[in-house]
Amino acid sequence: MINFQYARASDVADAVRQLAGDPTAKFLAGGTNLIDLMKMDVERPTKVIDINRLPLAQVETTPGGGLRIGALVRNADLAYHPLVEQRYPVLASAVMAGASQQLRNMASTGGNLLQRTRCSYFYDTATPCNKRESGSGCSAINGQNRTHAILGASDACIATHPSDMCVALVMLEAKVQVAGAAGDRVIAFADFHRLPGNTPQRDTNLDAGEIITAVELPPRGFATNYTYLKIRDRLSYAFALVSVAVGLELDGDMIKEGRFALGGVAHKPWRDAEAEAALHAQPANAATFARAADLLLKDARGYEHNAFKIDLARRCIVRALTQAARRTPQSQSSKKIM
């Protein structure tokens, strides 16, 4: 790890000011990803600004009936918050599906959005990686790409976004509140993360000099018909091969509105408007779900080692939509998949 100057920020304005003064500075919240990357020499900040004392650790109801989650709310506190458990159980479930309790006690809401891919080549400074070093090439395209993207990838990068929380947040149509030298702004969750294109070094549309202050949930939480189904190489404490967050609104057996988002398959949490439209005003049955899955995956592309993920994703979508329709959401402790 290279040496760095350590500084503490006293409030949001101070944090933004300190960041603006040093383009190689990084904010430090939970540290569970940044410090790991600093140890690996992937991140080399010359200044680290500790934001843990900023007053951003509250979960509050909003005037519009939603929920405002401060950027420093720890993952465990978010998943266990009574309003999240009651009104947004798909979010609580997704958070509990990720990492370990020690890491959830440390990791922040804002940091979860900004975590980097776990592509092994991104972590290995001895290999080319366009995300780590623009223009150096992608080692994964013809390498060990079993866990990599099947949707929205480019010739420059086939990495996936590793978050579980973000899969639920994009399904819930959350908004990201940010502050910066140019003022505050709000970014729709679906617009927050980017596809790799020719600039895989940029994971998000957060501008240099901006800080996430909160994530805002709209009133609708799909607390009746929901699930978060995550498939991985072991039963716990592993990143998703494929995960699916579902929210349905049913009228009898008919779907009034259906949403589903996928994790582990792309450079960003993945939603598809056409696939969701195929659920609208249709019976909640296997044929409907299979049609929606096929639509979402129609442009999916596998590489040498990860083509199995296309079939896996299709089955996961159908299973997750079935779980949500039957009101049998996936348990994150009992691992049996119903």
Partner 1 sequence: MISNDEASAGNACVAHPTRRGIIAGAATASIAMGMSCGASSQSPGSSDGAAAFSVPVSLTVNGTRHSLTLDPRTTLLDLLREHLDLTGTKKGCDQGQCGACTVLLDGRRVNSCLTFAVMYEGSQITTVEGLAKNGVLHPLQQAFIDHDAFQCGYCTPGQICSGVGLIAERRARTADEIRELMSGNICRCGAYPHIVAAIQQAMGRS
* C-alpha torsion 151→156→160→166, nearest 10: -90
Which among 168, 152, 171 has a CA at the least distance from the CA of 160?
152
Residue carrying the six token digits 């109801």 = 61
Work out the burial of residue 29: count CB atoms within 10 Å of its CB; fewer than 13 is exposed, 13-18 middle, 19 or more buried: buried
Q: Which two tokens stand for residue 333?
A: 């402790």
Element spanning 50, H or E: strand 47-50
Closest distance of CB 269 from partner 1, Å:
23
> 3-state DSSP call for residue 334?
coil
Residue with Cβ nearer partner 1 (11 or 191) = 11
For the bound state, the minimum distance from the C-beta of residue 293 to partner 1, rounded and expressed in Å, comes to 28
Residue 10 CB, nearest approach to partner 1 (Å): 13
Positive or negative CA dihedral for 107, 113, 115, 118? positive
Residue 106 CB: number of other CB atoms within 10 A? Answer: 18
Nearer to partner 1, 326 or 335 (CB): 335
| Contact in structure between 211 and 185 (CB atoms under 8 Å) | no
33 vs 177, beta carbon nearer partner 1: 33
Alpha-carbon distance of 130 to 122, in angstroms, equals: 8
DSSP bridge partners of 186: 177
C-alpha closest to that of 163 among 35, 268, 271: 268
Question: Between residues 49 and 292, which has the closer beta carbon with respect to partner 1?
Answer: 49
Cβ proximity to partner 1, 4 vs 137, nearer residue? 4
Tokens representing residue 285 in the block: 């049955």
Minimum CB separation of residue 202 from partner 1 in Å reads: 25
Dump strand ranges (E) for the chain: 5-8, 25-28, 47-50, 59-61, 67-70, 175-180, 183-188, 211-217, 225-231, 242-251, 254-263, 270-271
Residue 62 or 100 having the CB closest to partner 1 = 100
For residues 50 and 294, which CB has a smaller minimum distance to partner 1 in the complex?
A: 50
Residues that bind partner 1 (CB under 8 A): 1-6, 28, 31-32, 35-36, 39, 48, 50, 52, 76, 80, 99-103, 105-106, 236-237, 332-335
In the structure encoding, which two tokens stand for residue 246, read together?
């579902």
Instruction: Give min distance, CB of 31 to partner 1, in A.
Output: 5
Q: Which residue matches tokens 């018909």?
A: 225
* Main-chain phi, psi angles of 36, to 5 degrees: -60, -45
Q: Which is nearer to partner 1, 28 or 170 (CB)?
A: 28
Give the shortest CB-234-to-partner 1 separation in angstroms: 9
Name the minimum Å distance from CB 115 to partner 1.
12
How far from 122 is each of 105, 133, 181, CA to CA, in Å? 26, 9, 30
Minimal distance, residue 288 CB to partner 1, in Å: 32
> In the bound complex, what is the minimum distance in angstroms from residue 101's beta carbon to partner 1?
5
Query: Is the CB of 3 or the CB of 24 nearer to partner 1?
Result: 3
